[in-house]
Structure 1
Amino acid sequence: MMAAGIPPRASAEEKHLVLLRDGRTLIGYLRSIDQFANLVFHQTVERIHVGKKFGDIPRGIFIVRGENVVLLGEIDVDKPCDTVLQQVSIEEILEEQRLQQQAKQETEKVKMQALKDRGLSIPKADNLDEY
C-alpha cells in the first residue's frame, strides 16, 4: 500500500535533498508531494556548506512551497562519498557563513565603487529576488 502523496517509486524511508531558490539546502524524508510540487519533509536538517566544512541545523517537519524548489533528488546512502567534507558544530558553520557573506559584501562594495569611479551607476537590487 502506498502512503498518501508519495510517488510509487519513492520509498518513505529514503532521504531526499532539495535545493531551494534562495540557495538553502534541505535534507530529510519526503512525506508528501502534490500537483504544485509542494513538499512535506520530516526529520529535516538544513545543511550549510562553507568551503570544505558543513553543518546541519535540525528543522523538524518542513513544508516547502513548490515555486521555491530548484532541485529535488534522492540521496543514495549506500554510495561512498567522493568528496572529503568536515562536519562542524552549528555555531561554527554559522560563524563561517557570516564571515563568507561579509567578505562577499565587501567585494561587492569595491566593485560598485570601481564602477562609480568610472561614471557608471547600477541601481541596488536589495529588494529583488535573487535567482
Structure 2
Amino acid sequence: MSFNPNQPHGGGPAGAPPNMAASFNAMLQRSVQDHGSSEPISEPHINPPPSIGYRGVYNATPPPAQFAAPNALGGARGISQQILPTDLPPQAFLTSAMLLDMVDKKVDVLLRDEKEYIGILRSYDQFANLVLTECYERIAARNPAAIEDPTIPPWLICDVKLPGVMTIRGENVTICATVDLDREDSPKGVTVALEKDVRALAAAQKTDKKDSDARKATALKKAGIEPGFGMHG
C-alpha cells in the first residue's frame, strides 16, 4: 500500500483540533521519505486553539499604574485628582440619610409655597418625609418702613404655636437646616410683631405678587414664551 504525500486527507476524527490534518501530512512525509536524503522537512506551524473564556470587559487590560487613581473619580482617564473626601461617613452620600444628624434637633424647614416651620425633627423616611414636634409656623412679611429707612430690619415675623405632631411631605421641602440655639432669640434682619399685623401684611403682599405674576405671564404668552412656575395667566 502506498501513500501520496501530496494527497489531502480528511480533517481527522470528530472533535480533533483544526490543525490535525496538517500534522498528519507531515507524519506521512517523514515515513515515506528516502532515508538517504538529508533535506529537512518543514512542519507546519501549529497555532494553539483559542482559549475559551469571557470576552469584552472581563478580559480587558487594566490601565497602567501611573494612570490608576484609587479612591478617586476619573482615575481611569489619567486624572488622579481627589474629587470626594474620603473621611465622610457612608450615610453622607445618600439623600435622605443626610438628615441623620438632624434627628432630635431643632430645625427650620422652608417649603416651596414659602411657608416656614420650626420644630424638633423626630423622624424621617427614605423619601425625606419629616415628622416635627413642638412645631411653630413662622409668618413673615416685608417691613414697609424699611423702604425709606435702610437701618430698619426689612422683615416682620411672628411665630404661631401648632398643636400635636407636624408631618411634612418631603417633595415640598426646599430647605431644611438646624437652628443655632445660641442665636435664635435674637435673629438678624427681623423684627417680632403682632400676629394679626403680620398676617394682614403678608396676605396683602401675597395678593400683590400674584397679580404681578399674572401680568408677567400674560406678557410672556403674548411674546410666545411659556410662563414659569408660580405664574398664572
Pair 1:122–1:57, CA change in 2 (3 A): farther
Aligned match of 2:159: 56
State which drifts further: 65-74 or 102-111.
102-111
Aligned match of 2:70: none
Aligned match of 2:172: 68
Pick aligned residue for 1:10 from 102, 118, 122: 102
Pair 1:82–1:47, CA change in 2 (3 A): closer
Percent identity, please.
Answer: 28
Counting matched residue pairs gives: 118
Aligned-partner Cα distance in 2 for 1:105–1:84: 25
| CA contact 2:217–2:227 (8 Å) conserved in 1 | no
Amino acid at match of 2:160: I
**Per-residue deviation, 1:72:** 1.0
Q: In the alignment, is residue 42 of structure 1 matched against residue 133 of structure 2?
A: yes
Deviations 1:31-79 (A, max 9, x none): 1111111110011111121121012222232101111112111001113
Unaligned runs of 5+ in 1: 1-5
Aligned-partner Cα distance in 2 for 1:53–1:107: 22
Pick aligned residue for 2:196 from 73, 91, 94: 91
- RMSD of equivalent CA atoms: 3.0
**Per-residue deviation, 1:123:** 7.2
**Per-residue deviation, 1:112:** 5.8
Q: Comparing both structures, which one devotes a greater share of its residues to strand?
A: 1
Unaligned runs of 5+ in 2: 1-98, 143-154
Pair 1:82–1:43, CA change in 2 (3 A): closer
Higher relative contact order, chain-length normalized (CA < 8 Å, sep 6+):
1
Aligned match of 1:101: 206
Amino acid at match of 1:30: L
Aligned-partner Cα distance in 1 for 2:157–2:207: 18
Secondary structure of 1:70's counterpart equals: strand
Pair 1:121–1:99, CA change in 2 (3 A): farther
Q: Which has the larger radius of gyration?
A: 2
**Per-residue deviation, 1:105:** 3.4
Pair 1:86–1:34, CA change in 2 (3 A): same
| CA contact 2:135–2:166 (8 Å) conserved in 1 | yes
Pair 1:72–1:111, CA change in 2 (3 A): closer
